[in-house]
Amino acid sequence: MVEVINNYTPPPPKGPVTLPDPDAPYDLNFRFPVRELESDKLKLVPFVPSIHGQALVEGMKPHPELLQYLPWDPFDTLHEFELHFEQRIRSDPTWMVYALLDKSKIIPGQVHGQLAGTIGYLRASPETASVEIGYVIVLPSYQRTFVSTHAIGLLLDYALQKPGDGGLGLRRVQWMAHVDNKPSVRAAERMGFKMEGVLRWDRTVPADKANGLKPREDDVIQLKGRHSAILSMCWDDWEGGGREHVHKMMARRS
């Protein structure tokens, strides 16, 4: 008879966050190739905290509702945001965030422009040829404009187009949202994502957020939880009319 044991031990906690050397090239540390994306009105460039962070912090601070369904609160300082971005985004090779720049406000020859918000690829998996769109923050002055439509459309186009056409050739692009975040779900459906269902008790919610579900008594982690709506657009959706729908939506917002 074979003796069975279980020697698993949790990994040690991560040490203090060390910010990248500001004088060195900024390593995006992402599993897929990265390139700038643009439409006639919007330019997406890799988000670099030292370049774009201050504008985002200042844009979010007066509007905590922007982060209502995200697991963090507005940041008081650029340094706080830089630590967050390094720990949660750049150090995870499955995440990559873009800065959304209004092309009408970009000065030729400069990298700085009017920041409209952020959007990113999450949970990138070359093994399954899939990715998720998230970290979507559209600053108030750009809400109900072209920004959300163009940003989502550009990420879908790059993810689902075949490599020969300049894309990544992925099979699946996923969208997840707090089940109560109706605007997020509608934004995805408007762009052609298909609702697949609801993942119940999918993740935890910070204690200071009012939109979490109360766990049962004596719960093992004692944190509020949430249900998540999950939507997707896959390669066959894209080639079966999704591409034309996305491009039509972007043209309407031009």
Taking the C-alpha atoms of residue 173 and residue 132, their distance in angstroms, rounded to an integer, is 5
The highest-level CATH class for domain 37-252 is: alpha beta
By the 8 A CB rule, do 131 and 153 touch? no
pLDDT at 1: 87
Q: What residue segments make up the domains of the chain, in order of their start?
A: 37-252
**Mean pLDDT for the chain overall:** 95
- The pTM of this model reads 0.94
Q: What is the pLDDT of residues 118-156, one digit of tens each?
A: 999 999 999 999 999 999 999 999 999 999 999 999 999
DSSP designation for 71:
S
pLDDT at 113: 72
pLDDT at 112: 61
By the 8 A CB rule, do 159 and 167 touch? yes
Q: Residue 48 in 3-state DSSP?
A: coil
Q: Which of 122, 134, 156, 135 is nearest to 60 (CA)?
A: 135
pLDDT at 111: 60
By the 8 A CB rule, do 81 and 49 touch? yes
For the chain, percent of residues with pLDDT exceeding 70 = 98
What angle, 0 to 180 degrees and rounded to 10, lies between the N-to-C axes of helices 147-160 and 182-190? Answer: 60
Q: What is the pLDDT of residues 161-175, one digit of tens each?
A: 999 999 999 999 999
Low-confidence ranges of the chain (pLDDT < 50): none
Taking the C-alpha atoms of residue 106 and residue 41, their distance in angstroms, rounded to an integer, is 11
pLDDT at 191: 99
pLDDT at 40: 95
pLDDT at 105: 86
pLDDT at 187: 98
Taking the C-alpha atoms of residue 51 and residue 45, their distance in angstroms, rounded to an integer, is 11
pLDDT at 30: 99
By the 8 A CB rule, do 92 and 28 touch? no
By the 8 A CB rule, do 133 and 71 touch? no
